[in-house]
Amino acid sequence: ARTAEAIVEVSFGGWPVGVAMASVLLAERRHRHNHRTSERRRDDFPKIGHFDTWKVDSLQSLVLMNHDLILYPQWVNASDFRHTAEHFNNVPLHSEELDTALKNRCDQLLQKMQRKIDGEQQRAVQSRRRGQSSSTSSKPVAKPRTAKFKLTMDQLELCETMGTQLPFLPFTTPEEKQLFNQCAASLMHKDDHEMA
């Protein structure tokens, strides 16, 4: 028997996709696996010949509404259930303390970035005023900018999934790896509660 990881590796291993597309592919894989398992193991589960179960949901609802008849008695309409905040792909695993620490650090970084932006804009306005006193041309004043993090689409997807302003990413620089090794060797920080 092959493991789920091996099946995913064979199915999608060579595809250069981002985080969002990988989540969609895993969701589709999970949906198809659950459907096939239901066809094999659940008595009287309808074999519909495709995986577009929302079409069967719509058909079942229409037949019930128009003819007061349940087309597939063993079928459970997933469309009839209320949507919840539950996630199945990437889920946040960090503690509230680490989340609060990350929010505080992000706020500090954004404030620092905003001070730098404001300083640059003030210098630009002052130099423009000095230049206008000697000439009659007037350039339009640039719109004020707001500090924000420059993130890739994958990083934005991770932030949305984790509910954070910055994503949790693996260590990449030698300095980060060395600091992690020092923390792990000293056993000072046992979990993310203490790391916060």
| Cα distance between residue 9 and residue 130, in whole Å | 63
Return the number of other C-beta atoms located less than 10 Å from residue 29's C-beta.
15
pLDDT of residue 152: 92
Q: Which helix (H) or strand (E) is 27 found in, with range?
A: helix 19-41
Q: pLDDT (tens digit, 9 = 90+) per residue, 49-88?
A: 888 888 888 998 999 999 999 888 888 888 777 778 777 7
Q: pLDDT (tens digit, 9 = 90+) per residue, 114-141?
A: 999 888 888 888 888 887 665 555 556 5
Instruction: Say which residue, 41 or 182, is predicted with more confidence.
Output: 41
Closest CA to 106 of 171, 159, 170: 159
